[in-house]
């Protein structure tokens, strides 16, 4: 019995020794598999990190692309606006050039007209009833002098001529009283003048004893009857706003004679 037990022990020991190489092989394979798995995990982790890096870089590049695209659109809109502005400025320059052309033509046409207007006013003042002769002649001389001045613009010259015409026009619808000297019987005397529009011009001596009116036909003063002294005196007061406007009975020269 003891021999059999020993035989079994020897057999088990031999079996175990015979299996030792297989166990070593399995352990080596398992270690290799684990090592391989670890390497695979590390590679996968590195790959994932690389992918994450690429994704972040791609996102950044996409953001930069969108930013560049927005700037490009903004610059394109700005360029379109500049093109429109340049086109508008070119149109404006063409318009200004045309206006300058027209101004040169207008100047050539208006200067002779202005000279003619001054000549007409000079003749008109000379032929009109002789009220405020020095003032009106001085205005005409001033206009003639103004036309020869290079430091005064054409527009200012034209404005002054129109202003003089407006003053002359205003005389036709107003009455006026003023004092001035008058040559009467070879004697220079200070008298009161009464102008009724451009229709009639009267004078009354300061003592109120003599009155007269301008005779356009004969181009000289005509002494009036004493019946008109009061009416002319009243007209002077109305012109000076010392009396309210009222009906005045005064002689008026017409084409056919005096009335």
Ordered DSSP codes for 84-112: HHHHHHHHHHHHHHHHHHHHHHHHHHHHH
Whole-angstrom Cα distance, residue 197 to residue 169? Answer: 10
**What is residue 132's predicted lDDT score, i.e. its pLDDT?**
94
Whole-angstrom Cα distance, residue 87 to residue 79? Answer: 12
Whole-angstrom Cα distance, residue 144 to residue 119? Answer: 9
Q: What element of type H or E holds 217?
A: none
Whole-angstrom Cα distance, residue 67 to residue 221? Answer: 96
pTM above 0.85, yes or no: no
Q: In this structure, how many other beta carbons lie within 10 angstroms of the beta carbon of residue 214?
A: 20
Give the closest residue to 181 by CA, choosing from 130, 240, 129, 229.
Answer: 130
**What is residue 65's predicted lDDT score, i.e. its pLDDT?**
81
Task: Let me know how long the chain is.
Answer: 259
- Which SS3 state, helix, strand or coil, does residue 119 take? helix
Whole-angstrom Cα distance, residue 255 to residue 200? Answer: 13
Please, which residues have CB within 8 angstroms of residue 208's CB and are 6 or more apart in sequence? Answer: 229, 233
- Distance from the Cα of residue 30 to its chain's centroid: 95
**What is residue 97's predicted lDDT score, i.e. its pLDDT?**
66
Whole-angstrom Cα distance, residue 211 to residue 225? Answer: 8
**What is residue 258's predicted lDDT score, i.e. its pLDDT?**
45
Q: Which residues of the chain have pLDDT under 50?
A: 256-258
End-to-end CA distance of the chain: 192
Distances in whole angstroms, Cα of residue 159 to Cα of each of 105, 147, 244, 245: 19, 12, 35, 34
- How buried is 158 (Cβ within 10 angstroms: 0-12 exposed, 13-18 middle, 19+ buried)? middle
Tell me the HSE value of 216 on the side-chain side, using a 13 A CA sphere: 16
């Amino acid at each position: 019995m003891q021999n059999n037990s020993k035989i079994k022990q020897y057999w088990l020991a031999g079996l175990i020794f015979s299996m030792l190489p297989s166990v070593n092989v399995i352990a080596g394979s398992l270690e290799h598999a684990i090592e391989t798995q670890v390497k695979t995990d590390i590679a996968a982790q590195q790959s994932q990190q690389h992918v994450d890096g690429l994704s972040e870089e791609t996102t950044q590049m996409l953001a930069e692309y969108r930013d560049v695209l927005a700037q490009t659109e903004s610059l394109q809109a700005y360029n379109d606006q500049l093109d429109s502005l340049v086109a508008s400025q070119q149109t404006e320059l063409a318009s200004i050039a045309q206006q300058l052309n027209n101004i040169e033509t207008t100047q050539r046409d208006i200067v002779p007209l202005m000279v003619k207007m001054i000549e007409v006013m000079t003749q008109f003042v000379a032929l009109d009833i002789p009220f405020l002769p020095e003032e009106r002649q001085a205005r005409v001389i001033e206009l003639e002098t103004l036309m020869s001045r290079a430091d005064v613009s054409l527009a200012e010259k034209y404005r002054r001529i129109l202003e003089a015409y407006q003053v002359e026009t205003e005389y036709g619808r107003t009455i006026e009283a003023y004092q001035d000297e008058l040559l009467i019987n070879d004697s220079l005397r200070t008298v009161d003048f009464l102008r009724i529009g451009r229709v009639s011009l009267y004078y009354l001596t300061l003592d109120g004893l003599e009155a007269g009116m301008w005779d356009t036909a004969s181009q000289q003063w005509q002494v009036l009857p004493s019946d008109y002294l009061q009416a002319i005196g009243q007209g002077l007061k109305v012109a000076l706003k010392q009396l309210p406007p009222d009906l005045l009975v005064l002689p008026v020269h017409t084409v056919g004679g005096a009335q």
